[in-house]
Amino acid sequence: MIIEPRMRGFICLTAHPKGCEQNVKNQIEYVKSKGKIDGAKKVLVIGASTGFGLASRITSAFGSDAATIGVFFEKPPVEGKTASPGWYNSAAFENEAKKAGLYAKSINGDAFSNEVKQQTIDMIKADLGQVDLVIYSLASPVRMHPVTGVLHRSSLKPIGGTFTNKTVDFHTGVVSQISIEPANQEDIDNTVVVMGGEDWTMWMDALKNAGVLANGATTVAYSYIGPEVTEPVYRKGTIGRAKDHLEATAFSITDSLASINGKAYVSVNKALVTQASSAIPVIPLYISLLYKTMKAEGIHEGCIEQMQRLYSQRLFNGSEVPTDDKGRIRIDDWEMRTDIQDKIAKLWQDATTENLSEIGDLPGYKQDFLNLFGFGFEGVDYNADTNEMVNVPSIS
């Protein structure tokens, strides 16, 4: 069938298998072009199908020749209906890994469940014995708690008062004021349950107790800080409480991995267009100003550039892992540069519907958003009859 983008607000209902494949191939080429990284050889990536997790998996495989197991929650295709992009990304990744002679298998299911954890442990035992790196890159609006059976929903709300600021509808370019009502305690608690560190701890406990973590194993989860303008809805909002919890969890996991000389890190990454970040009010306007400013300075990065730099210059740089005063790896260093942030703060004051096309990078935002679903890639014939049924035996 001819597959076209069908946008519905913050999501696209279709995905293009050839475009997703092109996206993965481009990321592989980028990692290869940067040379080998003396990194982990057996890697588990939880949240491996899109965004930072996919880029991490690609960097491990094609930067360090690593065997990878990927866990994700994606929709396979059915006759006449495309898969979710992460499915096609993973299918393409597995094909490319196999061509390169690299072990790659995936588990498609709910990573918050005990069953998927056990399935992963069984796969590691059967195929790899142990893993030496665990990337934790889940982004989800809901979590079914494996002990209580309660379905928790996260929210993106300020805490303590209504937050009013500018936002942009990135489809139309219309800049408007948005007011978001404050969270109650239940909203905060639920968001921490979904996006905080409890599930990361459960994963690391399960892996350690099963004996599938190698001596010296490292685990990394991803966080975000960002600028003052987004603080009320991000870092000082409900999601920020979850990130505080996630960051604190790195210390408790490090303690519990002492017996195997393991270590847990949080890496603070740059703001990027992903399915997760597009749904957060105010952030798309910030990202469009950020992209424009960083591109002008020649320091713009996407997920793959970020993860390649995380691996080569932080995690596996041949010496100690550099961290900030709170023990966090900072790969948001270029985003947070004073000169960059000063420029954005000024642009933020000025931004209107009329001038955004000039002062912000809305086309860059839209392009990245389309790319998430496999659209807008050079070298892909979007008018061609395309088979939506891409099946991969190594995804179970």
Residue 48 is assigned to a ligand binding site: yes
Ligand-binding site membership of 186 (annotated): no
HSE-up (13 A, CA, CB side) for residue 38:
3
Three-state DSSP state, 298 = coil
Active site residue 30: no
Closest approach of Cβ 215 to ligand NAI, in Å? 27
Q: Please give the residue whose beta carbon sits closest to Na ion in the complex.
A: 53
Handedness of CA 234, 239, 241, 242 (dihedral sign): negative
User: Which residue in 30, 88, 222, 234 is the catalytic one?
Assistant: 234
Q: Are 93 and 27 in contact (CB under 8 A)?
A: no
Select the span of 30-38, 133-141, 188-196, 264-272 touching Na ion (CB under 5 A). 133-141
Q: Which residue has the tokens 């793959």?
A: 304
Q: Is 93 in the site for Na ion (CB under 5 A)?
A: no
DSSP per-residue codes, 236-260? TSHHHHHHHHHHHHHHHHHHHTGGG
Q: For residue 170, state whether it binds Na ion (rule: CB under 5 A).
A: no
Among 22, 23, 59, 137, binds Na ion (CB under 5 A): 137
Residues that bind ligand NAI (CB under 6 A): 47-53, 71-74, 86, 110-112, 137-140, 222-224, 269, 271-272, 274-277
Residue 40 or 271: the one with the smaller Cβ distance to ligand NAI is 271
Least CB distance from residue 384 to ligand NAI, whole Å? 27
What type of residue is 74? E
Give least dist CB 289 to Na ion, A.
24
CA atoms of 291 and 23, how far apart (whole Å): 19
Q: Please list, in sequence order, all residues whose beta carbon lies within 8 angstroms of the beta carbon of residue 53, skipping any fewer than 6 positions away.
A: 45, 46, 47, 70, 72, 135, 137, 138
53 touches Na ion by CB under 5 A? yes
| Residue 47 binds to Na ion (criterion: CB under 5 A) | yes
Candidates 17, 51, 86, 364; binder of Na ion (CB under 5 A) is: 51
Residue 49, annotated as binding a ligand: yes
Nearest distance in Å: CB 242, Na ion: 16
From ligand NAI, Na ion, none, interface partner of 111 (C-beta below 5 to 8 A by class): ligand NAI
Judge whether 274 is annotated as a binding position.
Answer: yes
Let me know: does 278 contact 284? Beta carbons within 8 Å.
Answer: yes
Calculate Rg over the CA atoms of the chain. Answer: 20
Closest CA to 160 of 232, 52, 241: 232
Burial class of 391 by CB neighbour count within 10 A (0 to 12, 13 to 18, 19+): exposed
Residue 73 annotated as lining a ligand binding site: yes
Candidate residues 22, 46, 52, 143; the one interacting with Na ion per rule CB under 5 A: 52
Least CB distance to ligand NAI at residue 334 (A):
13
Helices (H) then strands (E): counts for the chain = 13, 13
Is residue 65 marked as binding?
no
What does 73 bind: Na ion, ligand NAI, none (CB cut-off 5 to 8 Å by kind)? ligand NAI
Q: Of 260 and 327, which has the nearer Cβ to ligand NAI?
A: 327
Stretch of 129-137, 143-151, 320-328, 360-368 lying at the interface with Na ion (CB under 5 A): 129-137
Query: Residue 158: what residue type?
Result: P
Could you tell me whether strands 131-136 and 104-108 are parallel, antiparallel, or unpaired per DSSP bridges?
unpaired
Longest dimension (CA), the chain: 59
- The answer to whether 243 is a known ligand-binding residue is yes
Q: Are 108 and 396 in contact (CB under 8 A)?
A: yes
**Three-class SS of residue 31?**
helix
Residues that bind Na ion (rule: CB under 5 A) add up to a total of 5
Residues contributing to the annotated binding site: 47-52, 73-74, 110-111, 138-139, 224, 243, 272-274
Annotated binding residues for NAD(+), written as ranges, equal: 47-52, 73-74, 110-111, 138-139, 243, 272-274
Hey, which residues are catalytic here?
Answer: 234
